[in-house]
């Protein structure tokens, strides 16, 4: 049992403008799950012994952040200079991913990556691994030891890349199926079929992946769509027989409800409508989109068209593992699209919103009774500029906006998994 008395904020419903906030709240956790949450006054009135609480009156407790799209082997190419998507893949990413064929290397990288994620307040992620089984095994083993709710998949790619990172339609399908059987639904882990994008998959590979999606309907599907104009033109030349980029997936049953498509920046009107009708999710990766010069995702227009949205770091195209920094970039991209991203919507998105978009909202993303107790604790005192600015915040939304605009991992003093600290700042 763990009792935390602090300022507590979450979104118990999908109405982002209706957060539930306790200025002096108590979060009770038992056996890794939320046992109760409410104002301290209610607990005191009921005779609860508040001396058993850890008391953090100036901190803010939020559900753990969820990163809906990231590449775990690409930590090593973050901040690589001077290229847009296709050159960036060839020059930096593909050589870096080739190293993940080695299990010992991949295991060390997975441990380091998960340490970093927890340091940044991210408790769940949707990870693209490399095309090597070892990279997936390494990540799942490390995530299982830490009891993380994590979804990951072996990248499928059988063409248009260096040999060292290519599979074949047959080996890719076989490895994916073996990994599904071993890892999907084991503890808190889940598997995602992960074709990199249709440019690096043959028609035969797309076909086999669609068959697996049908055969294993509870498995997730994640890929990329419409990131960069040169990429879209190239996809057209690689797969001239399809109507457009989305059709390369549709034609093979690769747009099941809930499938996750990174970017979706330059969709046509028809693609937008079809994505909405199919229940596909557009994953907004603002930091990556700015860094690689890919474009400004039309977040509001997609939402208005009925497309489900998620938000993500997309490291290593993204420049930070911090979902707070991701929100800062999201706000700026939306500004350039003449949409004001409200701080309540922003924090909803990286908690319950991403849980809902990825169909994990029955487990994580908020503090309803019975939910898994993954949470982060923010302490504004950790960053002098934030501490100074937040004193003048008029209300909760103003405070949150300061955190997402000026904050980063330095604000996180604790990240807990199933109620137990998995990261604690050494000098909060
Ligand atoms: Zn990506």
Using one digit for the tens of pLDDT, what is the confidence trace for 259-303? 999 999 999 999 999 999 999 999 999 999 999 999 999 999 999
Residue among 366, 344, 341 at smallest CA distance from 355? 366
CA of 369 to the centre of ligand 1 (A): 34
Range(s) within the chain of domains with CATH label 2.30.40.10? 2-64+366-424
- The CA-to-CA distance between both ends of the chain, in Å, stands at 24
CA of 89 to the centre of ligand 1 (A): 11
Residue among 211, 219, 207 at smallest CA distance from 182? 219
**Which strand (E) or helix (H) includes residue 287?**
helix 286-291
CA of 159 to the centre of ligand 1 (A): 18
CA of 281 to the centre of ligand 1 (A): 14
For tokens 């599979």, name the residue.
Answer: 167
Q: Put the strands of the sheet holding 54-63 in their side by side order.
A: 33-39, 20-30, 2-10, 54-63, 375-378, 412-417, 420-424
Torsion of CA 74, 124, 254, 85, to 10 degrees: -30
* pLDDT for residue 428: 62
φ, ψ dihedrals at 153, nearest 5°: -155, 155
φ, ψ dihedrals at 368, nearest 5°: -60, 150
Environment class of 384 (CB within 10 Å of its CB; exposed 0-12, middle 13-18, buried 19+): exposed
For residue 366 the two structure tokens come to 């908020």
Residue among 321, 335, 292, 311 at smallest CA distance from 415? 321
CB atoms within 10 A of CB 75: 17
CA of 39 to the centre of ligand 1 (A): 41
d(CA 170, CA 227): 28
CA of 200 to the centre of ligand 1 (A): 13
CA of 370 to the centre of ligand 1 (A): 32
Sign of the Cα torsion 266, 97, 408, 150 reads positive
* pLDDT for residue 83: 84
CA of 26 to the centre of ligand 1 (A): 38
CB atoms within 10 A of CB 265: 23
d(CA 246, CA 254): 9
Residue among 252, 325, 250, 249 at smallest CA distance from 286? 325
CA of 24 to the centre of ligand 1 (A): 40
- Block mean pLDDT (10 aa), the chain, length 428: 97 97 98 98 97 97 98 92 87 92 97 98 98 98 98 98 96 98 98 98 98 98 97 97 98 98 98 98 98 96 98 96 98 98 98 98 98 98 96 97 97 98 88
CA of 180 to the centre of ligand 1 (A): 21
CA of 203 to the centre of ligand 1 (A): 21
The fold for domain 65-357 equals: TIM Barrel (3.20.20)
CA of 48 to the centre of ligand 1 (A): 48
CATH number of 2-64+366-424: 2.30.40.10
Determine the 3-state secondary structure of 164 from DSSP: helix
For residue 248 the two structure tokens come to 């390369």
CA of 45 to the centre of ligand 1 (A): 50
CA of 178 to the centre of ligand 1 (A): 24
Distance of CA 370 to the CA centre of its chain: 22
* pLDDT for residue 84: 87
CA of 71 to the centre of ligand 1 (A): 6
CA of 76 to the centre of ligand 1 (A): 14
CA of 395 to the centre of ligand 1 (A): 35
CA of 318 to the centre of ligand 1 (A): 9
CA of 381 to the centre of ligand 1 (A): 34
pLDDT digits (tens, 9 = 90+) for 169-217: 999 999 999 999 999 999 999 999 999 999 999 999 999 999 999 999 9
d(CA 424, CA 399): 22
CA of 394 to the centre of ligand 1 (A): 37
Determine the 3-state secondary structure of 355 from DSSP: helix
The tally of CA atoms less than 13 A away on the side-chain side of residue 205 is: 25
d(CA 140, CA 332): 34
CA of 127 to the centre of ligand 1 (A): 9
CA of 151 to the centre of ligand 1 (A): 14
CA of 147 to the centre of ligand 1 (A): 24
Query: How far is the CA of 6 from the CAs of 26, 50, 153, 309, 412, in angstroms?
Result: 6, 12, 37, 31, 15
CA of 225 to the centre of ligand 1 (A): 9
CA of 69 to the centre of ligand 1 (A): 6
Angle between helices 169-183 and 133-145 (to 10 degrees): 10
Range(s) within the chain of domains with CATH label 3.20.20.140? 65-357
pTM greater than the 0.95 cutoff: yes
CA of 70 to the centre of ligand 1 (A): 6
CB atoms within 10 A of CB 20: 16
DSSP 364: S
CA of 90 to the centre of ligand 1 (A): 14
Nearby residues of 46 by Cβ (< 8 Å), 6 or more positions away: none
Residue among 345, 367, 310 at smallest CA distance from 151? 310
């Amino acid at each position: 049992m763990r009792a935390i008395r602090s300022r507590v904020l979450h979104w118990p419903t999908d109405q982002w403008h209706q957060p539930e906030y306790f200025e002096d709240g108590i979060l009770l956790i038992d056996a890794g799950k939320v046992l109760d949450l409410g104002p301290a006054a209610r607990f005191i009135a009921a005779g609860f012994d508040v001396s058993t609480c850890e008391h953090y009156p100036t901190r803010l407790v939020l559900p753990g952040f969820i990163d809906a799209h990231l590449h775990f082997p690409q930590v090593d190419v973050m901040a690589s200079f001077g290229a847009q998507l296709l050159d960036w893949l060839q020059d930096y990413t593909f050589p870096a991913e080739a190293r993940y064929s080695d299990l010992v290397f991949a295991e060390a990288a997975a441990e380091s990556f998960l340490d970093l994620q927890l340091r940044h307040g991210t408790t769940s992620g949707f990870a693209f691994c490399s095309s090597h089984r070892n990279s997936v095994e390494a990540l799942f083993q490390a995530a299982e030891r830490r009891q993380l709710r994590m979804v990951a998949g072996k990248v499928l790619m059988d063409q248009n890349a260096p040999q060292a990172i290519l599979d074949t339609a047959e080996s890719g399908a076989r490895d994916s199926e073996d990994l599904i059987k071993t890892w999907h639904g084991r503890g808190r882990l889940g598997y995602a079929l992960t074709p990199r994008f249709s440019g690096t998959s043959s028609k035969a590979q797309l076909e086999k992946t669609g068959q697996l999606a049908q055969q294993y309907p509870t498995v997730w599907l994640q890929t990329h769509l419409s990131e960069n104009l040169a990429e879209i033109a190239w996809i057209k030349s690689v797969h001239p027989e399809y109507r457009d980029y989305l059709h390369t997936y549709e034609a093979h049953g690769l747009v099941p409800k809930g499938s996750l498509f990174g970017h979706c920046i330059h969709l046509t009107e028809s693609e937008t409508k079809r994505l909405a009708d199919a229940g596909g999710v557009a994953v907004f990766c603002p930091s990556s989109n700015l860094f690689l010069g890919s474009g400004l995702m039309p977040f509001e227009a997609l939402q208005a068209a009925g497309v489900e949205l998620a938000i993500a770091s997309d490291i290593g195209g993204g420049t930070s593992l911090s979902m707070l920094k991701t929100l800062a970039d999201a706000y700026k991209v939306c500004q350039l699209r003449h949409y004001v991203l409200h701080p309540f919507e922003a924090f909803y998105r990286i908690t319950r919103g991403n849980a809902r978009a990825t169909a994990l909202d029955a487990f994580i993303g908020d503090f309803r009774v019975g939910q898994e107790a993954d949470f982060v604790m923010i302490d504004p005192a950790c960053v002098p500029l934030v501490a100074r600015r937040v004193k003048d915040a008029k209300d909760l939304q103003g405070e949150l906006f300061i955190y997402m605009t000026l904050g980063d991992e330095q604000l996180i003093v604790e990240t807990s998994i199933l109620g137990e600290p998995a990261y604690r700042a050494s000098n909060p």
